[in-house]
Amino acid sequence: MTHIIPPLSGEEIERKSFEIIDQEAGDHGFDELTWPVVRRMVHASADFSILPLLVFRYNPIQNGIRALRRGAPIVTDSTMLKSGLSVVRLKGIHPAYAKGNIFCNIADREVARQAGEAGLSRSVFNMRSLKEHITGGIVCIGNAPTALLEVCRLVREEGARPALLIAMPVGFVNVIESKAEAKLLPVPTILMEGRRGGTTFAVAALNAIAILTLQSESP
């Protein structure tokens, strides 16, 4: 006998998914503001093993909400991450996001030229080229540890101060080291420790903060 699974709406699927996540996560230890961000990261990956890897420093969600409300620039380390952000939601928060206030220069010719001449990754020069948007902005890194290391340098040496840093690069070279550097910064940060990370997690975290911003009342 063939079993026919009845179709569900997107809203029903999300609601049921969150119910399952809440049940399976059990006593997770995250507070009522942090858990919706973590839960959406689990929802995006079906991966509960990330729970002990997540670090929240200097009230990053509150600071992220305030930054989005004022239309702060968003800087990403990859075009994939930029494409994954919900522009519809962001436009609902602030009109600046309808005017392209999300930045990634990784494919820019000048960035490629500078990287080639210096013998360094384009991710480094992508962040350097966007320095003016980093202070007061949201920096979202889900790919390149070299991008995170450059942001750390800009904070330490040039006084850059992001309103929120999402630090989730992935890989094997300088990944753990870049995250260790980021944990020392006096900057609101959401960080995934270890080699784990990736665009999926970084996008889910920032989209979750956007949802919280839309759901919360303005001060």
Residues that are catalytic: 43
> Is the torsion defined by CA of 169, 175, 176, 180 positive or negative?
negative
- Going from the C-alpha of 172 to that of each of 102, 195, 217, the distances in angstroms are 28, 6, 41
Distance of CA 76 to the CA centre of its chain: 8
Taking the C-alpha atoms of residue 130 and residue 132, their distance in angstroms, rounded to an integer, is: 6
Strand partners, 190: 56, 166
Taking the C-alpha atoms of residue 167 and residue 54, their distance in angstroms, rounded to an integer, is: 10
Taking the C-alpha atoms of residue 64 and residue 216, their distance in angstroms, rounded to an integer, is: 12
